[in-house]
A and B are shown apart, each in its own frame.
Chain A
Amino acid sequence: MKKRNLSEKIRQWYEGELSFDEKIAEPVVHIPAGTHDQQPPETKTKIRIVHRLENTEIKISRVGYGVLSVVFCLIICSILISTALFLPGFADKEAPTANEVYEHYVGAGRDQTGAVNTVAGMILDYRAFDTLGESFVLFTATCAVLLLLEGHKAALNRAKSTFTYATDPIVGIAAKIVVPVILVFGVYVLFNGHLSPGGGFSGGAILGTGLILYAQAYGDERAARVIPAGAIRGITIAALSFYCLSKSYSFFTGNEFNGVHSVIGPGTPGDFLSGGLILPLNLAVGLVVCCTMYTFYMIFTRGRLD
């Protein structure tokens, strides 16, 4: 209420209906020196806003700053574009990126990894270590966000997040119909990563979206009760450990010189159970991504997982 009064007053003063000295600067004049820190926050805000509106130096510097940034943007863009003009043309067959590496990945990938989807075979077999790093980037980001925000109430309005759409005739019913479909589709994308476009990251993102929609529609409280924090943590840790251990085994036995051979073969390309470790690794990555997305949402809206 007070804040609304203040902004209203400032608007009136700005439009010339109110004189500045009488109305707005009044509390500043009457507060004696030395008690500056004891001023109510409203007064401080008032002083700050008036200062910003009055000060011509700030105005000039703000305009100069804008002009400078536009000039900077033009310079950066022109440098980058003049460099990009020397690159090979779009979709050029003769471009240096279309070299023997890509030919080997596409040509030999299916028979070596057992995955029909070359991208899945590449990121989860040839470059699986890189994908393990990505999963750990997600895990580290989750840990950092939890450290920064867990236990602190979100800076947003708390009253807003306790509101649920569960009884709403449109949102509640639509969520009831759509959430299971999204989850099933996510599982489908997750399990068919080696056969069709998709895989762990996209499937996990779809699953996470379904969970976030559930939390949005039915409220954080209910989502936190249905999906316990311990399960989220346990699934993340288990998936990461499984990825780490199974890929360590695969790397160890992939060496031809130590006499150990992996018991997991590439299988028949095109079958559901094919591609060696790609299917379980997709599942692990998908679960990590799903839990990360859901954790980010819950931490930013609710402030905690449970």
Chain B
Amino acid sequence: MNITLNLEELTAMLLFGIGFTMLVFSRNLLKKVLGLNIIDTGVYLFLASMGYIEGNLTPIVPPTGPVDPGIYINPIPTGLVLTGIVVSVSFSALMLALAVRLYKKYRTLNLDEIYARCDREDGED
């Protein structure tokens, strides 16, 4: 329960909270995508800080001789961050493409106006 011990994790949580609020409450589609990217950043920071071990080296081992695992950091979260980055890039691109299509149809990125125009179209049919 020591705050100074967990500063990295706390920052990651703050980033996650801010991004999540942006994703849920923002009415602008582009800002929703940005919020999702902030969430991703928080998750990367969390994973990377969980994998770090005090004073240890990058997990690039010498080519010969015995390997002592105790002097290297944990490589598993690094691989997980890689997966996260790929998913985040794909997701952002897909969301932005959908936003472009919505903008072309309704000429706005505001969700309220898009809903209003959808309702009007439904009423006309």
Binding site for B on A (CB under 8 A): 48, 65, 68-70, 72-74, 76-77, 80-81, 83-87, 89-93, 95, 97-98, 101-107, 109-110, 116-119, 122-123, 127, 130, 134, 137-138, 140-141, 144-145, 148-149, 152, 154-155, 196-197, 201, 268-270, 292, 296, 299-300
Q: Is B118's CB within 8 Å of the partner chain A?
A: no
Establish whether residues B61 and A137, one from each chain, have CB atoms under 8 Å apart when the complex forms. Answer: no
Q: Contact partner of B25 among A65, A87, A101, A116, CB < 8 A?
A: A65
Given contacts A138-B86, A148-B101, contact A106 B79 (CB under 8 A): no
Please indicate the chain A residues that have their CB under 8 angstroms from the CB of B63 in the complex.
Answer: 110, 116, 268-270
Establish whether residues B100 and A149, one from each chain, have CB atoms under 8 Å apart when the complex forms. Answer: yes
Establish whether residues B82 and A201, one from each chain, have CB atoms under 8 Å apart when the complex forms. Answer: yes
Binding site for A on B (CB under 8 A): 1-3, 5-10, 12-14, 16-18, 20-21, 24-25, 49-55, 58-64, 67-70, 72, 74-79, 82-83, 85-87, 89-91, 93-94, 96-98, 100-101, 103-104, 113
Given contacts A84-B6, A98-B53, A106-B69, contact A72 B25 (CB under 8 A): yes
Establish whether residues A77 and B13, one from each chain, have CB atoms under 8 Å apart when the complex forms. Answer: yes
10 pairs of A and B residues whose beta carbons are closest in the complex: A270-B63, A141-B90, A89-B5, A77-B17, A69-B25, A73-B21, A80-B13, A118-B59, A91-B54, A103-B69
Please indicate the chain B residues that have their CB under 8 angstroms from the CB of A70 in the complex.
Answer: 21
Establish whether residues A138 and B17, one from each chain, have CB atoms under 8 Å apart when the complex forms. Answer: no
Q: In the bound complex, what is the Cα–Cα distance between A134 and B76 (angstroms)?
A: 16
Chain A residue, CB-CB nearest to B84: A134
Q: Contact partner of A144 among B74, B83, B97, CB < 8 A?
A: B97
